[in-house]
Amino acid sequence: RKEVEQDPGPFNVPEGATVAFNCTYSNSASQSFFWYRQDCRKEPKLLMSVYSSGNEDGRFTAQLNRASQYISLLIRDSKLSDSATYLCVVNRAGNQFYFGTGTSLTVIP
């Protein structure tokens, strides 16, 4: 079983829509959780960390469910500039990072 699994999509949504991505992880010892964004032919960039109590950054909300071992990312009021691949990343023991294969989002005018 993969350490981190994501639905690859693609998700094609109209501008202004709300879209949600989920990600599951297999190891309950996982400690830190992140969402990264990767634009085409660019490096991944940290979008936000995910905290146990859930956290929000503008239009983006991340949640963690440790009991069910999943992480979610909600994007409200989608913009064209949100089009990218979103990577779920799980960290264990400091220097062990596990990446999902990414979920592709295209926001359509």
**Residue numbers at the binding site for another protein (CB under 8 A):** 32, 34, 41-46, 49, 51-53, 55, 87, 89, 91, 94-95, 97, 99-102
Strands 96-99 and 84-92: antiparallel
Q: How many CB atoms lie within 10 A of CB 101?
A: 14
Instruction: Tell me how far, at minimum, the Cβ of 51 lies from another protein, in Å.
Output: 6
Element spanning 12, H or E = strand 11-14
Q: Is 53 or 81 the residue whose CB approaches another protein more closely? A: 53
Asked if residues 69 and 4 have their Cβ atoms less than 8 Å apart, the reply is no
Distance in Å, CB of 75 to another protein, minimum: 19
Smallest distance from another protein to CB 49, Å: 5
Provide the residue type at 7 as one letter.
D
CB-nearer residue toward another protein: 14 or 43:
43
